[in-house]
Each structure stands twice: as structure tokens, then as C-alpha cells.
Structure 1
């Protein structure tokens, strides 16, 4: 009876020891699993978080929009509306300036000889020739042409191939007096800051005359009476 009891106790002790070891191993495994799970579940810090809200670091090299720009608008971009290039051209829809026009001059034999000056707007420009007399002055001495017409001209809108004409006679007198010049200084108006030179060859100038601008070249003949 005592031997059976001892055998049972030994068996019970062995069983308890085995259960204890199994529990310890299970606990260690669970702890390891919990540790691993907790470790893997921890979020990896992002570059922006590591930089403390995006200041410094790689943000210094960014070229795209940022909240600091205000409303997501990229710095350095133009605020002009699309398609505004034409409206920004010199003379567009306004009074013509001398440099808004293409100028040409050719000698004519009618009315004792004169020069026909023609102008048209440069490509992409629409402008209005003023009703005032065009300004033509011969040579460096500035012998300016006087009006050949008694009535002021009208405004002329130039665009595309539309052309305006003015006639300039270098000599309106019948005497032999005069001064030799080879260029005409031309501009749209007295206060135009960009006059240009038109080469006319050697010509005797004495009390020159000019017509107004006309759309018909036949009307731009400076008759002298």
C-alpha cells in the first residue's frame, strides 16, 4: 500500500512538473509573440514626422506647391489670365505709335513730283491712326512739312493688310532756292518718342507740304495751287 502511494505520488509529481514546464514554455512563446506583434504593429516614422511637421530636411528641395504658399499655389507662377498675350502687345486697340507700323516710301511723278508714304500695322497689332497731320521733317535741319489740305483728316483703324497713305512734296515753291537732303524724319505725331528715318535720295527741299492720312492713295496727292 505504501509502495503504491509512493508510485502514485512520483507519477503525480512528474505529471505536475511536465505541466509546469509546458505552461512556462507556452507563456514564453506567448510573451515572445506578444512582443513581436507589438513591435511589428508600431508605425514606422515618416520623413515628415521625423522632420517635425515638414520644416527642413527634404522639404527644402521640393519644387511643388506647399501649404505655406497659401491655397496650394506654387510660388513664382504668373497670375495673368491665359490668352492675355495679344492684349499686352504695344498699340493693341489703341492709338498707333510710329514703331507699331511698317513704313515704306516711293517717289511719284504726279503733281510735279512727290513721295508717297504708306503705313500698315505690324503683325498682331490693331491700332488707330490719329486724325492729326503726320509729321515729316527733312534732314537734320528739321525742315517740317506743312499741311497741304485745309481740312483735318479722320482716324483710320489699321489691322492686317489695311494700308494708309500720305503724300509729301519736298518743294512747293517755283524758285531755285532750296536745300539738298536725302532723308525724311517721320512719325505719327509731334510727341511720338520713336521717330524713324526714310531714305529718299538727294532731293531739293523748300517749304515742303504733306497731306493727311488716307485709305485711298489717290486722295494722298499733295497738289500745290
Structure 2
């Protein structure tokens, strides 16, 4: 009986020891698992973590890419639009603006009507569109600069020149009787008095005394400088 009792006690002690060791191993493992989860603060599910990471990267990319693309697109359009207007202005000097003397092709043709005068014609050079001012053209004969006065009392109208459209003005070199006057062979012409690029036209030999000029007209018949 004593031997059996001792054997039973030994077996019972061994079983108790095993159970205690098993419980101790499970406890720390669980505690460690809980502690690790709480301290890391990251999702336990790897799939959830993978989903969150691309989402954050996508948002970041959108934040950088979105405004950059929009700004770039806007600027490109502005540049394209701005580039189109600048290119046109560069190719067409004076485009849509007031005509400068050097924007025009000038000609002077002697006419016998109204006692003799010169029909001066202007048209825009190739690729240019510009507006002739309503004021009188400037005609000054020879080196003495004898300037033509107005043959019309009413100011003319602005004329837009483009392509082959021509405007005309008539200038009478001599409006006085008798043999008075000075002989010249050239006339200096310009669109306005402050134009820095006047043009010299050859008119042959002509006597000049108190010259007169008309305004610009699109019909050459309206550009005859009648003096009476």
C-alpha cells in the first residue's frame, strides 16, 4: 500500500508539474502577442496594411500630380494661345494697329485733271493689316520741306488696309498763278508728322508753290484736289 501510494503521488506530482508548465508557456505567449499588437499600432491583417499603403501613396501622388498637371495644362494652353498671338504679331508687323509709313507700299502717279496733281496710292505690304489714321497725309516737297496744306475742310475716316486694298490721296504741288514757285524732283511722304520713317518719292521736275493735299480715300475719284 505504501509503495502504491508513493507511486500515485509521484505520477500526480508529474502531471501537476506538466500542467503548470503548459499554463506558464501559454500565458506569456498571449501576453506578448497582446503587447506586440498594442505597441505596434499597425493592422494585424497584412492585406489591410497593403491596401492602406497604396491608398496613401495614391493620395500623395494625386496631391502632387493633380495640381501640377492642371497648372501645366493651363500654362501650356496659355502659352499656346499666347504663342499663337505673339507669332502672328511677329509675322505681321503692325497687324491690327495704326499704319506706319514703312508698313506701306507707296506710289505717285501724275494726273492731268484739276490742273494737274499727283495721285498718291498706298497699300499694306504683304502679310500686314493696319489702319490709316483719319488725319491728312504728310507731303513735303524737296529739301526745303514745303509741306502741303489741306484741300478738304472735313477730316477723313480711318481706313483699314490689308491684302491688295489701296487708299488714295491727291496732292497738288502748285495752287498759285504765275511763274512763282520752286522746282523740286522729290516729295517726302509719311502717314503722320511724328512718323520716324518717311519715304522719298520721285516726282520728276515739278514747280511747287502752296501745295495742297486731300485726305485718304478708297475711291480715287474722291482724291482729286479741286482748288476752287
Instruction: Please give the TM-score of this superposition, normalised by the length of structure 2.
Output: 0.63
Distance between the aligned counterparts of 1:87 and 1:174, measured in 2? 49
Listed one character per residue, the Cα deviations across residues 61-97 of structure 1 (whole Å, up to 9, x for unaligned) are xxxxxxxxxx9xxxxxx99725732222321100000
Instruction: Please give the TM-score of this superposition, normalised by the length of structure 1.
Output: 0.64
The question of 1:90 aligning with 2:93 is answered: yes
Over the aligned positions, Cα root-mean-square deviation in angstroms equals 1.6
Secondary structure of 1:85's aligned partner: helix
8 Å contact from structure 1 (residues 106, 117) kept in 2 = yes
- Residue of structure 2 in register with 1:42 after alignment: none
Query: Shift in Å at residue 157 of structure 1?
Result: 0.4
Instruction: Note the residue ranges of structure 2 that are not aligned, 5 or more in a row.
Output: 1-71, 73-78
- Residue of structure 1 in register with 2:221 after alignment: 218
Q: 1:18-33 to 2 correspondence within 5 Å?
A: none
8 Å contact from structure 1 (residues 180, 205) kept in 2 = yes
- Residue of structure 2 in register with 1:148 after alignment: 151
The question of 1:185 aligning with 2:188 is answered: yes
Distance between the aligned counterparts of 1:193 and 1:82, measured in 2? 29
Query: Shift in Å at residue 220 of structure 1?
Result: 0.2
The question of 1:171 aligning with 2:171 is answered: no
- Residue of structure 1 in register with 2:31 after alignment: none
Listed one character per residue, the Cα deviations across residues 96-146 of structure 1 (whole Å, up to 9, x for unaligned) are 000000111110000000000000001111100000000000000000000
More helix by share: 2
